[in-house]
């Protein structure tokens, strides 16, 4: 049963040796999190595993049964180390079949080599996820969405994902930037306001740059009025402690 | 018992709501992986969890008992949402104590507020990890290293970590860049060479840019001579298939 405004969660599983070797900097987790925030969907956990079947299968099964949804990225190309489709099928205990619409799309552009045919395989009971950028579509099965690893392609596929999920209550946030004060003096007023608002999340994200140091204080919650009043209380509490250099950050 | 040249593993646990909300782009995983590669240490898995005690404790306990080492980042500042020290102590079933050398260091620069004292707490049986960049040291306990989340500080702390770990056999890699051919034609020769060298890892990392498309083919392994011969076989196999636009990538 859908409870309006209830919490909806989606885990992210990043698949690929290149992320774990540091050869490639992952940017998909942050892109997915920001995208899902528009639908009021939280990402409570993410995992990164290599191109190892047992690890992928175990992570898929844990994450898909623990959270409302799971998005995976990586491992759906035509090469021998692209084993995500096989692993997702095995996680669900189903076989793979070749999707005729993908075969048609591939053969319209290219010779159908065995490698390219691999990209037409989707698990029995699965569905296609549109790819408007480059190459064949992605796929999903039940509450799992299996997307490409290349960021530009992944982001295009993502646009066909959010509308298929149950929306949650959107989180509102307001950010107060504090220049020239460290967390050591910010902590006490921040904690006092956090304790007064247990339904909100108050975080402090320090920065250190050549121009100076300080922290971004982020008030997050599902009730906009409460976010705004807690933000005002925080600003007043910091001023009462003699802390200056406060700036409201727009669209944080 | 230490087997010379054996495989040594280190998991990474990224802690912080800001990473899971997409507000902050994590760069610590890639930095840690590249740093550990110099010591021949593999990162087989990474996890990202929020500022939630039960999640942090469960992840610490799983990762520290599954792999040789664990590095965590984030949650060691002075604010109320910095709970990593508490969680690591609970994971090991030990108490926290205030380290006198950290208290001395803090009080030499600042008034010792309750918030700042939080940063002096380390688990009983733990040890300090030097921080040459900014603020108090980090700490470790047994095979777990607990570092800051701010990347510049984390990277400074990391320099005091590698020499404490048992080194593994360093992985060698050679990268062959293929311009103008997609993975659909690369896959067959790549797989043939991969099958002939089961001890090596052969990966394909496609790119799509305004200048064109192609893929970086990476041959990785602990035996340099085998990496070099597999690379030569791969290059020959691609040429035999009529694939052009091959370039050796330096220091990939």
| Chain B residues within an 8 Å CB radius of A112 | none
Cα B20 to Cα B26: distance, rounded to the nearest angstrom: 9
Cα B192 to Cα B194: distance, rounded to the nearest angstrom: 5
| Chain B residues within an 8 Å CB radius of A76 | none
| Chain A residues within an 8 Å CB radius of B24 | 30, 205
* Tens of pLDDT, residues A196-230: 999 999 999 988 877 789 999 999 999 999 999 99
* Tens of pLDDT, residues A109-152: 888 989 999 999 999 999 999 998 878 999 999 999 999 999 99
* Tens of pLDDT, residues A28-52: 999 999 999 999 999 999 999 999 9
Query: What is the second-level CATH architecture of the domain B172-249?
Result: 2-Layer Sandwich (3.30)
Of B45, B55, B81, the CB nearest to A203: B81
Cα B197 to Cα B199: distance, rounded to the nearest angstrom: 5
* Per-residue confidence (pLDDT) for residue A207, from 0 to 100: 87
Q: Who's near A203: CB < 8 A, 6+ residues apart?
A: A217, A218, A220, B17, B18, B51, B79, B81
Q: Who's near B250: CB < 8 A, 6+ residues apart?
A: none
Which CATH superfamily hosts domain A8-164? MoaB/Mog-like domain (3.40.980.10)
Interchain contact, A77 vs B194, CB within 8 Å: no
Q: In what order do the strands lie in the sheet with B212-221?
A: B201-209, B212-221, B172-179, B246-249
Strands B96-98 and B172-179: unpaired
Domain ranges of chain B: 8-164, 172-249
- B110 pLDDT exceeds 90? no
* Per-residue confidence (pLDDT) for residue B38, from 0 to 100: 93
**B1 pLDDT tier (thresholds 50, 70, 90):** very low
Interchain contact, B186 vs A79, CB within 8 Å: yes
**A6 pLDDT tier (thresholds 50, 70, 90):** confident
Cα A15 to Cα B49: distance, rounded to the nearest angstrom: 17
Cα A209 to Cα A229: distance, rounded to the nearest angstrom: 30
**A98 pLDDT tier (thresholds 50, 70, 90):** very high
Among A71-75, A130-134, B172-176, B198-202, the least confident range: A130-134
Mean pLDDT within B194-205: 94
Chain A contacts in chain B segment 208-227 (CB below 8 A): 208, 218, 220
- B70 pLDDT exceeds 90? yes
A195 → chain B, closest CA residue: B80
DSSP assignment of B224-241 equals HHHHHHHHHHHHHHHHHT
B13 touches chain A (CB under 8 A): no
CB B168 within 8 A of CB B202: no
Chain B contacts in chain A segment 151-170 (CB below 8 A): 152-153
Q: Who's near A125: CB < 8 A, 6+ residues apart?
A: A92, A94, A141, A142
Q: Give the pTM.
A: 0.91
- A233 pLDDT exceeds 60? yes
* Closest Cα in chain A, distance from residue B3 (Å): 23
ipTM of predicted assembly, 2 dp: 0.90
- A3 pLDDT exceeds 70? no
């Amino acid at each position: 049963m859908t409870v309006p405004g209830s919490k909806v969660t989606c885990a992210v599983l990043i698949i690929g040796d290149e992320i774990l070797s540091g050869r490639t900097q992952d940017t998909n987790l942050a892109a997915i999190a920001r995208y899902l925030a528009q639908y009021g969907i939280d990402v409570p956990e993410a995992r990164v595993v290599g191109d190892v079947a047992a690890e992928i299968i175990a992570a898929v099964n844990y994450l898909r049964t623990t959270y409302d949804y799971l998005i995976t990225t990586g491992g759906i190309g035509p090469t021998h180390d692209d084993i995500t489709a096989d692993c997702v099928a095995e996680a669900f205990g189903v076989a793979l079949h070749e999707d005729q619409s993908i075969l048609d799309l591939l053969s319209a552009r290219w010779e159908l080599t065995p490698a390219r045919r691999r990209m037409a395989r989707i698990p029995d009971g699965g569905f296609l996820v549109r790819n408007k950028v480059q190459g064949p579509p992605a796929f999903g099965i039940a509450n799992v969405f299996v997307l490409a690893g290349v960021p530009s392609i992944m982001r295009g596929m993502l646009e066909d994902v959010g509308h298929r999920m149950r929306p949650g209550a959107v989180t509102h946030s307001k950010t107060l930037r504090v220049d020239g004060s460290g967390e050591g003096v910010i902590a006490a007023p921040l904690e006092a306001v956090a304790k007064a608002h247990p339904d909100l999340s108050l975080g402090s994200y320090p920065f250190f740059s050549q121009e100076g140091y300080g922290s971004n204080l982020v008030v997050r919650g599902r009730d906009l009025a409460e976010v705004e009043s807690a933000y005002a209380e925080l600003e007043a509490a910091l001023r009462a402690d003699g802390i200056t250099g406060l700036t409201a950050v727009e669209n944080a």
